[in-house]
Chain A
Amino acid sequence: DTEVTQTPKHLVMGMTNKKSLKCEQHMGHRAMYWYKQKAKKPPELMFVYSYEKLSINESVPSRFSPECPNSSLLNLHLHALQPEDSALYLCASSQENERDYNEQFFGPGTRLTVL
């Protein structure tokens, strides 16, 4: 199984809502990533987990809260978002060795709209 799955595919939420994005992979990868991508722009790294521990937080606002319950799952909890947070949220995974420079496998993304 060389697939990264993300749910939901689309999400519309108000600024006072709480929602969660989910990501799952069964490739045995121990590094997992969240990216934010605006239209026609490159992905921007938000968080990286390595062996279920937060390795990188790119100064992301606290209204985004990541969670890695186990080696296959990655969540992104959303609370009190702003309309400018509307974007495609991509999850990715890669093998765990930082110095092997392994490629990332991306999920299809969740299209988030904040009203």
Chain B
Amino acid sequence: AQSVAQPEDQVNVAEGNPLTVKCTYSVSGNPYLFWYVQYPNRGLQFLLKYITGDNLVKGSYGFEAEFNKSQTSFHLKKPSALVSDSALYFCAVRESTGGFKTIFGAGTRLFVKA
């Protein structure tokens, strides 16, 4: 069975500093990994995904994620945080055998302080 873990409930970072939001996964086949962001009282927005290819994936709003197969991780990163990046971030995995089901991590709340 597929699963994702986000070990941190909350991450605090100062504006201008680099940020990392952690995600580890467990899958029985090839991992298909996603990051989504949710602002208050809004739906989720897609940031980036890893399907195959380069381990460093670039996405929206300056975010990137590094796929590490040996550590089964897919951490979200940004070189310089903005106050407007403050939101709830979800890591997610799709079933590797096909199908539409996406399994979301518990979420990590990011606070960026000015």
Contacts and interface: CB of A to CB of B under 8 A. Distances in A.
Nearest to A10: B41
A43 B104 contact: yes
A31 B101 CA distance: 11
Given A33-B100, A103-B49, A42 B105 contact: yes
B56 interface: no
Given A90-B43, A103-B34, A103-B49, A98 B100 contact: yes
Interface of B: 32, 34, 36, 41-46, 49, 51, 88, 90, 94, 98-102, 104-107, 109
A46 B15 CA distance: 37
Contact of B41 (A98, A103, A111): A111
Find the residue from B34, B44, B45 having the highest chain A CB count within 10 A: B44
Question: Main SS of chain A's interface residues?
Answer: strand
Contacts of A27: none
B9 to A, nearest CB: 9
Contact of A101 (B41, B42, B51, B107): B51
A101 B95 CA distance: 9
Contacts of B34: 103
Interface in A85-114: 88, 90, 92, 94, 98-99, 101, 103-109, 111
